[in-house]
Amino acid sequence: MKYAVDEIIDEIAIIENIETEEKKEVSIKVLPKNIKEGNVVVENITYKLDTKEEEIRRKIIKDKLERLKKLK
């Protein structure tokens, strides 16, 4: 499963399943070091960063913002 790190509050990260949009809370201790909001992680017993998926998601969001700016 792939998750986007939605929010980090103290020692808890709110992660969102990219496919189902289901959110869950996990301890940042089980996530990679230096995890930050917007990172994408893959859960396969442990959590690992997925920088390729993160780049794709950032590009999609950037493109959407550009289209919205053109509508003004």
Residue 45: predicted pLDDT: 84
Which pLDDT value is given to residue 3? 97
Torsion over CA: 28, 21, 57, 71 (sign): negative
Q: Could you read off the pLDDT of 29-66 as tens digits, one per residue?
A: 999 999 999 999 999 889 999 999 999 999 999 999 99
Spatial contact of 54 and 40, defined as CB atoms under 8 Å apart: yes
Is residue 71 over pLDDT 90? no
State the average pLDDT over residues 15-41. Answer: 96
Contacts of 50 (CB under 8 A, 6+ apart): 2, 40, 41, 42
Q: Which residues contact 27 (CB under 8 A, 6 or more apart)?
A: 11, 12, 13
Residue 17: what pLDDT?
96
Closest by Cα among 34, 35, 67 to 3: 35
